[in-house]
Structure 1
Amino acid sequence: MDMDMLIQARKDFNSKIFIEVVIIAAWAIWTHRNEVIFDGAHISPRRWKQLLRDEFSLLLHTAKPTFKLELQTWLSSFR
């Protein structure tokens, strides 16, 4: 991804939690990739979404109050 695309994505996302979403989404992809490679799991968007939700739930425990409401709102809207 080139830098202009990343900057535009951040503008389009229009939220302070953009980087958190990107990092957690990448981590969930990596974790699911490892399950597929090392544990013989099947590729599953549903499993990726579950990993993403689980990681966001953990993040909520340590989030600053100024970010917590926005994180909760984003997580509840994620389907």
Structure 2
Amino acid sequence: MHLDNYNCVHCVENLEESVAHLFFNCPFSEACWIYLDIQWDSSLHPLQMIIQARQRFGSCIIREIVIVACWTLWCHRNSIVFNAQSLSFARWRLSFVEEMRRVSLRAKTSMGDKINIWLSNLL
């Protein structure tokens, strides 16, 4: 697919979008991770980044949080590119919370309970 440009739509830095930028280095995604209390050390290899973040976060639900956060960042990006939506932290946050609630319903009871407790502390 050809787009007019391949710059990040989440920020004003006019940088070409890359996986690392979109999910970790963009000021918008950084704000999302700060909200979720997940810290990334982008100087590390991606696998080491994940291991370190998991150790810092200290909860078994980090995998679900990271997957849903990345998915909702991607969907938010696509809504801007393809549906002319505007950048909105509130809209991303709502989407993230809704997706996490769906994950909690599909998870085993113990995991779903942990997700719901974490969400109630987040809100």
Aligned mates of 1:49, 1:37 — CA distance in 2: 18
1:71 offset after TM fit, Å?
Answer: 0.3
Match for 1:51: what amino acid? S
* Aligned residue among 61, 74, 78 for 2:118: 74
**Larger gyration radius, structure 1 or structure 2:** 2
The ranges of structure 1 where at least 4 consecutive aligned residues each deviate by more than 3 angstroms after the TM superposition are none
Match for 2:116: what amino acid? Q
**Unmatched tracts of structure 2, length 5 or more:** 1-41
- More helix, by proportion: 1
Once the two structures are superposed, residues 28-79 of structure 1 have per-residue CA deviations (whole angstroms, 9 ceiling, x without a partner) of 1011111101110111111110110110111121110120111001111224
Q: Using CA pairs below 8 Å that are at least 6 residues apart, which structure has the higher relative contact order? A: 1
Match for 2:90: what amino acid? R
TM-score (norm 1): 0.92
Aligned position for 1:15? 59
Aligned mates of 1:23, 1:41 — CA distance in 2: 23
TM-score (norm 2): 0.61
Instruction: Give identity over the alignment, percent.
Output: 34
CA RMSD in angstroms comes to 1.1
| Number of aligned positions between the proteins | 79
Aligned position for 1:49? 93
**Unmatched tracts of structure 1, length 5 or more:** none
Match for 2:80: what amino acid? V
